[in-house]
Amino acid sequence: MQRKFIYSAEREQIQDDAVGLKQKTKSLTAHRSSLNVKRSMEISKIGFYTGLCWSASFLLAMLSLTQPAWGFAGNLLGVLSIWVAGVQLRAAQESMPKEEEPWGVRHRWHKSLQVQLLAALLCTFVQYMYFRYVDNGRMLTALTEVYTNPEYTELMKQAMPEYKPQDVLDLLSQITLRDLAINFLVLNSFLAIVLSIPTAFVAAVRKK
């Protein structure tokens, strides 16, 4: 009788331990899920701010077609986007709970790539909206002035004797808004891959 009581008590203890372990596992899973959501939101936020830098750089570049002085500011913002993304990623890494493993080189680059690709998407959207509602042929007019410039034409003919400015302008005039959007998306995605490398480097630099 006493042995049965002991076995019953042991069985209840095992069941209690199993229930406790299940609850801990469920709690840990929920905690990890919450952290993943938080990290995803942080990456999206950093990508948004970086995309704003990209977009501002593009708009300044468009403005520099008629006011060249803005070109330097546009280039500066483009470089600044790397620093903005890297510093914010470093802050996100430093705010991680102690139980999480620190980011390795591959993980840091992966996060940097995510940020820059999000920035590329936002910038592509801004570029599309710009050419759809704002440009009104300004870029084509500026390019026409460049390609028909006698000095530029002479320089191009030295490199390509068959060069004709009108052929280039006819080709540009045939480009649709959809073509522009696709080209910008491809170019921005490639640029995001390139910029993710220095971004990851900035994110790896620790504060003294």
Smallest CA-to-CA distance from 65 within 184, 124, 146 is with 146
Q: Taking CA 199 as the corner, what is the angle to CA 194 and CA 204, rounded to the nearest 5 degrees?
A: 135
pTM of the complete model:
0.76
- Burial class of residue 199, CB neighbours in 10 A (0-12, 13-18, 19+): buried
- pLDDT recorded at residue 95: 75
- Residues in the chain, pLDDT under 50: 2, 5, 31
DSSP letter string over 65-125? Answer: TT-TTHHHHHHHHHHHHHHHHHHHHHHHHHTS-TTSPPP-HHHHHHHHHHHHHHHHHHHHH
Q: Give the number of other CB atoms < 10 A from CB of residue 17.
A: 10
Cα separation, 54 vs 119, whole angstroms = 7
Smallest CA-to-CA distance from 196 within 86, 122, 94, 66 is with 86
- Residues 202 and 153: beta-carbon distance below 8 Å: no
- pLDDT recorded at residue 162: 77
- pLDDT recorded at residue 17: 55
């049965």: which residue's tokens?
Answer: 4
